Structure 1
Amino acid sequence: MKAVDTTIALFTLAALSPAAAFVPSAASRAALGRTRALPQKSQPTCAPADKSSAVFHSGKGASALFGTGPSYTDVVSETEGDEDGDEEGGKKKKKKKDKKSGGDKEKVKLEAEVTFFEGGPDPSEVVAPAVSILTVIGIVPFSAALARQAWVKYTLTSRRIKIVSGWNGKDTTEVVYPDIVDMVYVWRFFGRCGDLVLTLRDGSKLEIRSLPDFERNYNYIRERTSASCQEKSAVLKPQN
């Protein structure tokens, strides 16, 4: 009977051993209870542990992906600084240019043109043609002298010499004083007026006939020519 009981006990133990594998032991149940009793801790987020591990960080140094070098914010700040510097430099340059241009304008600015003499040929040039009108040939020079009195006009200013002539005063000739290289004169009608011939740089000659108040006007023109022209031009000698 003992043998039968032993055999039955062995078979019973063999049948129960697979199910016991799935039943937790007393030690396992105690550990599980302690784990549930502990407070739950907050899980870490996906944010980087420190600022240096971020791809773009605020400070200089190494980045997680791109190695050492300036950060994005550094590049932006430096670019803005360069732009500000360029703008300030451009403003300074503009100010300097404005100052220079203002100085140049002041230098280039000319004085107002002043008229020294304005009038036609001296009327004494009509006397001789009027006497010659007694002959048939004298009619032509007399008519020319009258036309000159009506249409010819001389103007001397601080900058130039202007001569209006031609039919009905339609021709205008202007000469600036630096273009004059030589001056030759001759008195007319006993010193009442004079003829003046001007030689210009291009070799052409300009004649001013019967210029009134000749001594005063001649000296005025000569004083405004170049030094070389004054050396070549004769000093005016009063007519006795």
Structure 2
Amino acid sequence: MPPSTTAATATVSSILRPTPPPAVSFHSASLPQPRRSSSGAAAAPRRLVAVAARADGASSGAETVFFDGGAHYGDLAANLLLGLTLLWLPLTLAAVSRAFILRYRFTSRRVTVVSGLSGADRTDFPYSSVTSVVVVPRFIGEWGDIIITLRDGTKVDLRSVPRFREVADYCRSMAAAEGSLVTQ
């Protein structure tokens, strides 16, 4: 006996017709209210909070960020222009990689260099391990390189740092406050 056409029709129509979604219920939950300051304005979101440093250069507990940034944009622009020649192309590729994957952070406690495509390569060292800081100006002094020598003889080369003189002076003063800077 052949199968009934009503059973076959019911199967086909259930495949073509979408089934309704299950019933969803929403529960109201109380969300935390933002803290308000004495003036009634909402509190600012928490980030790396910079606390004012004392006059002697030591911080009062929190880490103060002096400089946080990447390579100078002028280095990238100059190398892109010079990259039009085939001779300068490797240096242009190095400048592009510096611009996109390298960050420097100078705080009241340490120097941090973050590199890598995902930012996974991170190097931190305290000012107490710094023995010398040397600067090399580039492009009429708009940006420059900072070479930091550590106690174990390691030389950390920070390339194309904007405001490099201010940053190097800050690094020297923090290392001198720690008592590790070697006078030359």
Fold-level match, TM-score > 0.5?
yes
1:67-146 to 2 correspondences below 5 Å: 111-146=61-96
Shift of 1:215: 2.1
Residue type matched to 2:111 in 1? Answer: I
Structure 1: where are the runs of 5+ without partners? 1-109, 233-240
Shift of 1:219: 1.2
1:219 aligns with 2:165: no
CA deviations 1:48-89 (Å, max 9, x no partner) are: xxxxxxxxxxxxxxxxxxxxxxxxxxxxxxxxxxxxxxxxxx
Higher percent of residues as strand: 2
Q: Distance in 1 between matches of 2:116 and 2:91?
A: 15
1:231 is matched with: 183
Query: 4+ residue stretches of structure 1 with deviation over 3 A?
Result: none
1:162 is matched with: 112
Q: 146, 152, 172: which one pairs with 1:196? A: 146
1:207 is matched with: 157
Higher percent of residues as helix: 1
Relative contact order higher in (CA < 8 Å, ≥ 6 apart): 2
Shift of 1:121: 0.9
What number of residue pairs does the alignment pair up? Answer: 123
* SS at structure 2 position matched to 1:111: coil
Question: What's the C-alpha RMSD, in Å, of the aligned pairs?
Answer: 1.8
Q: Is the 8 A contact 2:128 2:180 kept in 1?
A: no
Q: Distance in 1 between matches of 2:120 and 2:73?
A: 21
Bigger radius of gyration among the two = 1
Residue type matched to 2:143 in 1? Answer: C
Q: Is the 8 A contact 1:119 1:153 kept in 2?
A: yes
Shift of 1:214: 1.7
